[in-house]
Structure 1
Amino acid sequence: MGLKILVVIISYLIGSFSSAYVLGKLIKKADIRTYGSGNAGATNALRVFGKRIGAMVFILDVLKGILAAYIGGKLIGYDGRLLGGFFAVVGHMWPIFLKFKGGKGIATSFGMLLSIHWPTAIITLIGFIIVLLVSKYVSLASIFSCVAAPIVIALVTEPFDRKFFIATLIIAIISIIKHRSNIVRLLNGQEYKIGEKVRR
């Protein structure tokens, strides 16, 4: 039990490191939370700060999920990988260092998937890319990949990995809730498309 609590704390703190906020402050002297959608994540960083910073944020956020799952796995095995990845996503969404105002967890969730079951990560990534290319909406592609992940796990893991399925299902539900403003903008035809810059 003690090691599980340690994994939860370490992973949450890893997830709480907001690369979008830190890079925005260091490079652009701007708080990402006050621009665009106000979301401290890779997509908003791309819109507000451009491709270079957006890519850096995405990579760092993916690495958070990988690192937390790796540490958890080293400490307590497979359950630790699940705990580590899951709480890195939680930390990203509600970072203690930013008064619990974080991102939507997509990139960090992808890092978790890569670390635990890479085929699921690749399949959901392909789905994300297809939806993005067709629709031009990152938010729609993100929502699709969130929904797809637990479905893919149910279909391709043998034997069925109930813990992994539940973890990704919970993340999907939370992430969709955090995308509610995007969903409203999508329905109203007001959502930003890929490549559109937000005026700072």
Structure 2
Amino acid sequence: MNDILAGGFATLGAGFLGSIPFGLLLTRWAGLGDIRNVGSGNIGATNVLRTGRKGLAAATLLLDALKGTLAVWLVGALLGWNWAPFAALAAVLGHCHPPWLQGQGGKGVATALGVMLGLGWPVFAVAALAWLAAAAVSRISSVGAMAAMAAGAASSWFLLDPVSATAVTVAGAYVIGRHEANIKRLMAGTEPRIGRKE
């Protein structure tokens, strides 16, 4: 029972770590105001890029990914690897639904990539390559993001244990589901291309 209680608290902690809204914090510190009033209103790196500040967008991407990796590694190191997949899911959900922002967070792409790295770097490598290739060909961020989630989920079943693969698959499916509006715009041919401010 003590192990379950400790695991529950650790998983909750992973969720709080995932909920840190780096895109919002960095843009405010840079004097750009509230990133939620820019472009899509999202707090992630793609929307930060719409401010024209590539450095801030890169920092947002890196920090959003690292918080996912750190959540997995910390919980795994403290309580054992059996808890790491739960920490992974909690970190992604924390990013998507931060309590500090009334549950209105980012889409979770970078954080999901981060937890893939934490659970197994080969899965992260497959997902990152899929993201880069799809984004380079389409010049559309959402296409790269969804390709990364699908590739990471598929490869996890060959590269990770079943519980970790399940966590990656659930996280990837959830992140893709949060791209519903993007999918509709893709079908309508109105999805913005990378680097476009609107």
TM-score for both structures, normalised by structure 2? 0.94
Q: Give runs of aligned pairs for residues 1-200 of structure 1, distance below 5 A.
A: 1-157=4-160, 161-198=161-198
**AA partner of residue 6 (structure 1):** F
Gapped regions of structure 1 (runs ≥ 5):
none
Matched residue SS, 2:50 = helix
Inter-partner Cα distance in structure 2 for 1:153 and 1:194: 28
Q: Per-residue CA shift, 1:51-87, capped at 9, x if unaligned?
A: 1110010111011011111110122111222222221
| Alpha-carbon spacing, 1:21–1:120, altered in 2? closer, same or farther (3 Å) | same
Inter-partner Cα distance in structure 2 for 1:27 and 1:131: 31
Q: CA deviation at 1:25?
A: 1.4
Runs of 4+ in 1 over 6 A off after TM superposition: none
Maintained 8 Å contact 2:131/2:144: yes
Inter-partner Cα distance in structure 1 for 2:51 and 2:179: 18
**AA partner of residue 197 (structure 1):** K
Inter-partner Cα distance in structure 2 for 1:48 and 1:190: 20
Q: Per-residue CA shift, 1:154-188, capped at 9, x if unaligned?
A: 2334xxx2111211121122112210111111111
TM-score for both structures, normalised by structure 1? 0.93
Maintained 8 Å contact 2:112/2:172: no
